[in-house]
Amino acid sequence: MDRQSKLTFGNVAALQMEREFVDDQATSLKGVNRGKIISVTSGKGGVGKTTFSVNLAVALAQFGRKTCLVDLDFGLANDEIFFDGVATRNLSDIFNNKKSIEEVVTNTGYGIDLVVGSSGDESISNLDEIRRKYLSNGLERLSKKYDYIILDTQAGVAKTTFDFLMISDIVKVVFVPEPTSIIDAYTVIKMLYRANSYARIGVLSNMVDEDLDGKEIVERFRGSVKKLLNCEVEDGGFIYNSQMVKYAIRLKKPVIVYSPFAKCSVQMREIARKIILES
């Protein structure tokens, strides 16, 4: 076996050992056997929310969890880009062509299923309450067929986003270490808290420069939320900024597939592992 083959074999073996360890730990903690709905949201765009959603879904699948990613951007959906445009149907087919949500699910080839959002369709860009409820019911139904449903929501706190956060078991609020992003993320948390959301809320700092202490950034944010709202939010982790993400996007691949041992990919798998162990 040549050096490259040994390296490749070693990497695959390491991933398999990691998966088996998580399976063992999760089995010992297993409780109610039902799918979890995880919303990934942010106070503003441009924080890497979609990139995180896609890679989290793939990471959960790599740990053997049946996962479906749902792109809930009703105007500028782009999750499909990471899978080279595999879908033939999207969310607009539910409302315009009377398809069920099950009928618009597409297999990506990366171990996860995908429900593609809609781009440029004004008919669903602002869903009314009846259609939001109809879609929420479909997501609840879909959760019975998967271990995890990942909702990549629109940024901000519009009603079209907030209703889906309220049906979630877990909400991951993504921010970057910049004042405007932090303030907007805090606003999302405040609205969830005041709405009495039952979801476990976690904060995740994304695109962190390697010369910064990502854990300290998250802890300071959590401390501010505790002080201002008197509520606890979970440590959702942090992810380093990486050129590998940009390279992967250009090739229309999740970075966790393109470069599985890059620091950011390792961190994403660690976040997925933590979710499994705490679910």
**Per-residue model confidence as pLDDT tens digits over 216-235:** 999 999 999 999 999 999 99
Mean pLDDT of 102-120: 90
Distance CA 161, CA 49 (A): 14
- Burial category of 129 from C-beta neighbours within 10 Å (exposed 0-12, middle 13-18, buried 19 and up): exposed
The pLDDT tens digits for 163-221 are 899 999 999 999 999 999 999 999 999 999 999 888 999 999 999 999 999 999 999 99
Under DSSP, is residue 170 helix (H, G, I), strand (E, B) or coil? strand
Q: For the structural domain made of 32-278, what CATH number should be given?
A: 3.40.50.300
Q: Give me the pLDDT at residue 217, please.
A: 97
Q: Give me the pLDDT at residue 125, please.
A: 73
Using DSSP bridges, classify how beta strands 170-175 and 148-153 pair: parallel, antiparallel or unpaired. Answer: unpaired
170: CB partners within 8 A, 6+ apart: 36, 37, 38, 39, 199, 200, 201, 202, 275
155: CB partners within 8 A, 6+ apart: 41, 42, 43, 44, 45, 47, 49, 161
Q: What is the DSSP letter of 76?
A: B
For the cut 60, the answer to whether the pLDDT of residue 267 exceeds it is yes
Q: What is the dihedral of CA 91, 95, 101, 103, to 10 degrees?
A: -90
Q: Give me the pLDDT at residue 13, please.
A: 54
Residue linked to tokens 């409780």: 31
Q: Which of 39-43, 81-85, 124-128, 253-257 has the lowest mean pLDDT?
A: 124-128
Distance CA 218, CA 174 (A): 11
- Count of CB atoms within 10 A of residue 263's CB? 14
Using DSSP bridges, classify how beta strands 36-42 and 148-153 pair: parallel, antiparallel or unpaired. Answer: parallel
Distance CA 128, CA 160 (A): 8
User: 2 pLDDT band (50/70/90 cuts)?
Assistant: very low
52: CB partners within 8 A, 6+ apart: 40, 172, 174, 204, 206, 239, 268
Mean pLDDT of 13-40: 62
Under DSSP, is residue 100 helix (H, G, I), strand (E, B) or coil? coil
Give yes or no for a contact between 248 and 81, defined as CB atoms under 8 angstroms apart: no
Of 256, 178, 173, the closest CA to residue 212 belongs to 178
Q: Give me the pLDDT at residue 28, please.
A: 40
Q: Which two tokens stand for residue 26?
A: 């999760």
Mean pLDDT of 100-105: 94
Question: Which stretches within the chain are classed as H helix?
Answer: 3-29, 49-62, 92-96, 129-142, 159-165, 179-194, 214-229, 243-250, 255-258, 263-278
Angle at 35 between CA 30 and CA 39, to 5 degrees: 115
